[in-house]
Structure 1
Amino acid sequence: MCGIICSLRAGCQGDTDNIHGEPARPDDTFRDLSERLKVVNAARGPDAQGSHHIHIQGICQCESGGAQASSPSEACGLDVEFFASELRLRGDTPIVQPHQQGGDVFCWNGEVFEGLDVNVDENDGVKLFQSIRSLSTMDDLPSLLGKIEGPYAFVYYHAEFRRLYFARDPLGRRSLLIHKPSVSNPHFLLASVSIGNDQVCIMEELSTEVIFCLDIGRLCESNEIVQNFDSCLTCIPRYGDQQSLPFAKLSRVNTALPPDAPPSVLSLDSTILPRDLAIAVNHLIEHLDRSVMLRVQNIPRRTSLEKGQAHVAVLFSGGIDSTILAFLAHKHVPRDEPIDLLNVAFENPRKIQLQTDGNIGAISKREKKRQLKASERNAAVKESTSYMVPDRVTGLQEVGELRRLCHGRTWNFVEVDVPYEESQAARAAVEATMFPGRTVMDLSLAMALYFASKGVGKIRASAVSDDSRPYTSPARVLLNGLGSDELLGGYGRHRTAYITRGWQGVIDELQLELDRIPTRNLGRDDRVISSSGKETRHPFLSLTVVSFLAGLPVHLKLDPRLELGVGDKMLLRLAARKVGLLEASVRKKRAMQFGSHSARMEAGDGERRGDLMIRAASEQ
């Protein structure tokens, strides 16, 4: 995990006016912006930070002695700075970015799990840099990227042709934001995370559909940076077929309709499954198990980390997704290491009021007085139970099942309790980090991930004990169950699609889910979680797992004819059942923001839709 920045400044050094005859933005304004960006991006990689400057010579067209000169000049051209921070999670040797060789510069924020031969003691960024430099032509870059699987965002400067290449992986599992030059802000920026909603840099998510190439040499020679930027920026397709380039693009959902009356599984306890379904269950377990293995093995040990401390944690709600990931991680993490289960709960005044006072507007005055007295008498009780949110209840239940099944493993159930005042104090920082996400739902989810990823909470002495001790998770790799609902039909809208449009409606909805995965959650989640110097990994969103699940006939993944807790994500439920997770297999879907009570904190928030834009914390 890294934080990366690439900045490009237009115009001549020392100019007092820009090409539009307007006063130039003072250097200290841009320097302040640059330093602020470095601070927030350095938080993603606390192990090391480095920067590298280059000046690309341009044609000077400054006025001199009343005449305009056009000649090469060291003072004119473009200043380009590369910055990268490093969270060391690959290889035995400390790495300081940016990578540099022969004038080429490479900033890498990613992990290669498949498709590139990287030994345990090697760093994947170093290996990939060597692979890119060994290409006979940069036209082969899409082919190289199409053969590697893993989350990534990168910036690569090719010195010979003075071109800048940058991209995210096809799923967008790593954040990269872009600011294009404008008249008021004539600089170009790429950054893993921004400083928030600031007029000095209007940043947006970089598209995952293509690989971008900026012809800096041509841009430099034009001396019209703002006007010519778009013409110097080209989009390179992620071409290739599934056989030769398996990770170039997202797979398409299988469009085959099931038979008129596909066989139905009457219950998850069915001992005999249709043959195709039984095979699919086995293959899902195999694919998911391998995906988890690749994401938890060979995590470097820090010298300051004592033996027996956790290196892997799971964002844990007690639901089926996080539980099966925890179970599979148990198979591949050394038995002498604990696995931390991060379970977050918010003190939510609106929820507490509803639980303790009921619907005040619909009860008598006598009943109001009785409830008020009861509320005052039970203030201490209310304080102790305010964190018993739905995800805390199911989390405590599910860790018991893991302890029964996974002998010899220490499971640290980390209770991350967030007081209301603390969540509100952090709101401005969360809003800035999740930007350009700005909806009510963005904030609710970002709040939950922000505090969960910090891993600051407590663990109980035993499952039945009220005694607890403070605990901060040292794990830097966090497993996240995101993707299972989109791929396996876990949302209520999949059932609605079946009711209104039959199996074809479900297929169409699943394709829509897959199409919008890159734009909905992943960039925001990466920015928020990584702000704590942690890295989130998504086993369900391995492109290998995505390809397998997308290719399955729809009726093997879900059955909307069956009740909730059975038909939704049916294939995953059967897989959980097969490995012994009986309790987890029947848990119903519950959104993180509602399970943790991070949503709708205020009295007036009950009716606010998730897609509404938030008011900034400063406006509250």
Structure 2
Amino acid sequence: MCGIYCSIAATGHHVDAEVFQALSQPLKSANGARGPDAQTSYTFRLPALRRNPSEGQARGTELQIEFFASELLLRGHTAVVQPHQKEGDVFCWNGEVFEGLDIGPEENDGAKLFARLRLDCTVDSVPGLLGNIEGPYAFVFYHSSSEKLYFARDPLGRRSLLLHRPSPSFPYLLLSSVSAGNHPAYQFEELSTESILCLDVGRMRQSNDVVKGFDGSLSIIPRRALAAKFAEISRVNTALPPKNLPSLDPFGCGACPEAWSDAVNELVAHLDRSVMLRVKDIPFQFGQGRKARVAVLFSGGIDSTMLAFLAHRHVPGDETIDLINVAFENPRKIQVQLGGKSDMLPKRERKRYRKVADGGTTSYLVPDRITGLQEVEELRKLCPGRTWNFVEVDVPYEESLAARSGVEAVMWPSRTVMDLSLAMALYFASRGVGRIRSSPSECYQPYTSHARVLLNGLGSDELLGGYGRHRTAFTARGWGGVIDELQLELDRIPTRNLGRDDRIISSHGKETRHPFLSLSVVSFLAGLPVYLKLDPRLDVGKGDKTLLRLAAHKLGLVEASARKKRAMQFGSHSARMEAGGSERRGELIIVSPVDL
């Protein structure tokens, strides 16, 4: 995990140097928080062109280009300083290569990619190389001899990269992993994942107008045009089930039904390999001993439980695995439980309500806490000898209010009410400050998770039909409607949550990894016939994500296999915190974003 930043600005009268420095410094600082192990910058200028030697008069624009990158050490034992530089070529890499390029435990994937890019850098070769690697990434690469700047995100958008296009008011280019909030001097947009972009910087500096020069020098290379294994997201299998497909309850017998047997085995194999690739070879942190290297964002639901169980297979047995479970003190929920008072509860009353005899707090017995406590016991029975740290992250209302402005700044340009609810939950979960105890009879001890790799179950609902809208689509349009809805889910993944989640979690110097969103797993699940993935004719808890439930049941996760879907913001009570009955729809824009 890294933070990357690149700026291209005209020198001289076009952009005030002090103003631009005041703009770029907060962005570099925000990117530095993503990679605390090493960080540096590299700046150079491209002079304006001249008409001819006799005239000596410059035309075009002199450009100053700055690259900044920070490094979070997750491979090897020595941080590799970025930006990578050689003979004028510059590479900023924020990603992980899990397939398609052999990377040894002590090798740096960014350095290896940089070497490959320098060997053969053309408008055709760069997209081809990237299309054959699997893993989350965002990058910026400057090729000096051609004066071209390439930049992109992976096809699923698992890593953030924001773009500010030059405009008449703000005539400079900015690329950054993260923003510093709603700043008046930039207009960030999330970079599209559909293409790889190439900016002809040499052509751009020929123009006296940076804005027109940028618009006329940018090439878009669509991923769909590439014949490469990991160039784009697979399409959903459109084959309809037989019209007389029987409605069978696959959980009604002991063994996995034959119709699903092969698909279950293949899902376990694909997901197991995906988890293995994401938890192996993570270095121990200096000074942290053998504390947990891997944590799971853990609700006790089927997705996070499957990841925890499979991580157990590949993390050495003498190491702990942290299961991070977040719960918010929600005044609105407390009001309902105390009789529906209409005014905000006084502080002293909230404190009184929180106190219970065993030293715990009923305010934090949210749905995800209850299922998490139940599920960790199932894991302990199935995995004897493994130490599972069930990390209870309790967030008082006052603390969530105090953190809100900072969370809004980091998640920008995402800015809906739902964005904030999810971002708050991820912010406190990834911070990992909470408490643990080995059993209900033991006393709590303060605990902070130092695991830098956080496994996240996002993607299973989209791929396997876990949302209520899949059942609605079946009711309205049959199996064809379900197939259409699953394709929409895949199409929306790159534009919905992942960039925002990456910005939030990485602000703590940690990295989220999504085993369900390996492009290999996505390809396998997209290619399966729809009736093997879900059956909306069955009850909730059976007909949604049927294949995953069968896989969990087969592995012994019987309780987890039957749990119903619950959105993170509702399971943790991070949503709708305003007391007094305030209702705000999730898609509404936050009306007072952070201004810096």
Whether these two folds match at TM > 0.5 is yes
**1:268 Cα deviation from its structure 2 partner:** 1.8
User: Which residue of 1 is the match for residue 441 of structure 2?
Assistant: 465
The answer to whether structure 1 residue 228 and structure 2 residue 228 are counterparts is no
User: Which residue of 2 is the match for residue 187 of structure 1?
Assistant: 172
The answer to whether structure 1 residue 321 and structure 2 residue 303 are counterparts is yes
Tell me if structure 1 keeps the 8 A contact 2:121–2:143. Answer: no
Tell me if structure 2 keeps the 8 A contact 1:196–1:436. Answer: yes
List per-residue Cα deviations over 1:497-524 (Å, max 9, x = no partner): 0000000000000000000000000000
**1:618 Cα deviation from its structure 2 partner:** 6.5
User: Which residue of 1 is the match for residue 6 of structure 2?
Assistant: 6
The answer to whether structure 1 residue 130 and structure 2 residue 115 are counterparts is yes
Distance in 2, matches of 1:178 and 1:83, equals: 15
List per-residue Cα deviations over 1:391-449 (Å, max 9, x = no partner): 00000000000000011100000000001010000100000100110101000000000
Residues 377, 442 of structure 1: alpha-carbon distance in 2 compared, 3 angstrom cutoff:
closer
SS class of match (1:279) = helix
User: Which residue of 1 is the match for residue 423 of structure 2?
Assistant: 446
List per-residue Cα deviations over 1:555-610 (Å, max 9, x = no partner): 00000000000000000000000000000000000000000000001025653211
Residues 96, 446 of structure 1: alpha-carbon distance in 2 compared, 3 angstrom cutoff:
same
Provide TM-score, normalisation by structure 2: 0.95
Distance in 2, matches of 1:53 and 1:605, equals: 53
Picking from 254, 258, 261, the partner of 1:278 is 261
SS class of match (1:109) = strand
Residues 379, 92 of structure 1: alpha-carbon distance in 2 compared, 3 angstrom cutoff:
closer
Picking from 220, 224, 237, the partner of 2:222 is 237
Residues 175, 349 of structure 1: alpha-carbon distance in 2 compared, 3 angstrom cutoff:
same
Tell me if structure 1 keeps the 8 A contact 2:30–2:180. Answer: yes
Distance in 1, matches of 2:380 and 2:205, equals: 62
Picking from 51, 58, 63, the partner of 1:71 is 58
Distance in 2, matches of 1:375 and 1:448, equals: 21
**1:356 Cα deviation from its structure 2 partner:** 1.5
User: Which residue of 2 is the match for residue 566 of structure 1?
Assistant: 542
Distance in 1, matches of 2:74 and 2:361, equals: 38
User: Which residue of 2 is the match for residue 334 of structure 1?
Assistant: 316
List per-residue Cα deviations over 1:33-67 (Å, max 9, x = no partner): 11111111000000010111111121369xxxxxx
Tell me if structure 2 keeps the 8 A contact 1:58–1:221. Answer: yes
Superposed, which structure 2 residues align to 1:591-610 within 5 Å?
A: 591-603=567-579, 606-610=582-586
User: Which residue of 1 is the match for residue 24 of structure 2?
Assistant: 34
Question: Larger radius of gyration, structure 1 or 2?
Answer: 1
User: Which residue of 2 is the match for residue 22 of structure 1?
Assistant: none
Provide TM-score, normalisation by structure 1: 0.91
Distance in 2, matches of 1:531 and 1:550, equals: 32
Distance in 2, matches of 1:376 and 1:458, equals: 19
List per-residue Cα deviations over 1:6-57 (Å, max 9, x = no partner): 00002x42x2xx4xxxxxx532111011111111100000001011111112
**1:290 Cα deviation from its structure 2 partner:** 0.2
Tell me if structure 1 keeps the 8 A contact 2:250–2:257. Answer: no
Q: Which amino acid aligns with 1:380?
A: K
Picking from 103, 114, 134, the partner of 1:118 is 103
Tell me if structure 1 keeps the 8 A contact 2:327–2:366. Answer: yes
Q: Which amino acid aligns with 2:3?
A: G
Residues 329, 77 of structure 1: alpha-carbon distance in 2 compared, 3 angstrom cutoff:
same
Q: Which amino acid aligns with 1:167?
A: A
The answer to whether structure 1 residue 43 and structure 2 residue 33 are counterparts is yes
Tell me if structure 1 keeps the 8 A contact 2:342–2:581. Answer: no
Tell me if structure 2 keeps the 8 A contact 1:175–1:192. Answer: yes
Q: Which runs of 5+ in 1 are unaligned?
A: 19-24, 62-67, 362-373
User: Which residue of 1 is the match for residue 153 of structure 2?
Assistant: 168
Q: Report the aligned-residue RMSD.
A: 2.1
Distance in 2, matches of 1:102 and 1:376, equals: 62
Distance in 1, matches of 2:411 and 2:7, equals: 21
SS class of match (1:426) = helix
Q: Which amino acid aligns with 2:403?
A: A
User: Which residue of 2 is the match for residue 311 of structure 1?
Assistant: 293
Distance in 1, matches of 2:350 and 2:416, equals: 34
SS class of match (1:221) = coil
Distance in 1, matches of 2:374 and 2:48, equals: 66
Distance in 1, matches of 2:549 and 2:209, equals: 59
Superposed, which structure 2 residues align to 1:425-574 within 5 Å?
A: 425-460=402-437, 462-465=438-441, 467-574=443-550
User: Which residue of 2 is the match for residue 265 of structure 1?
Assistant: 248
Picking from 352, 370, 379, the partner of 1:402 is 379
**1:376 Cα deviation from its structure 2 partner:** 10
Tell me if structure 2 keeps the 8 A contact 1:143–1:240. Answer: no
The answer to whether structure 1 residue 391 and structure 2 residue 391 are counterparts is no
Residues 123, 269 of structure 1: alpha-carbon distance in 2 compared, 3 angstrom cutoff:
farther
Tell me if structure 1 keeps the 8 A contact 2:95–2:135. Answer: yes
Q: Which amino acid aligns with 1:441?
A: M
User: Which residue of 2 is the match for residue 255 of structure 1?
Assistant: 238
Distance in 1, matches of 2:372 and 2:398, equals: 24
**1:238 Cα deviation from its structure 2 partner:** 1.7
Tell me if structure 2 keeps the 8 A contact 1:60–1:77. Answer: no
Distance in 2, matches of 1:600 and 1:530, equals: 25
User: Which residue of 2 is the match for residue 298 of structure 1?
Assistant: 281
Distance in 2, matches of 1:141 and 1:589, equals: 41
Distance in 1, matches of 2:323 and 2:221, equals: 41
List per-residue Cα deviations over 1:150-171 (Å, max 9, x = no partner): 0000000000010100000000
The number of residue pairs the alignment matches comes to: 586
Picking from 334, 353, 359, the partner of 2:335 is 353
Distance in 2, matches of 1:501 and 1:274, equals: 27
Q: Which runs of 5+ in 2 are unaligned?
A: 344-348
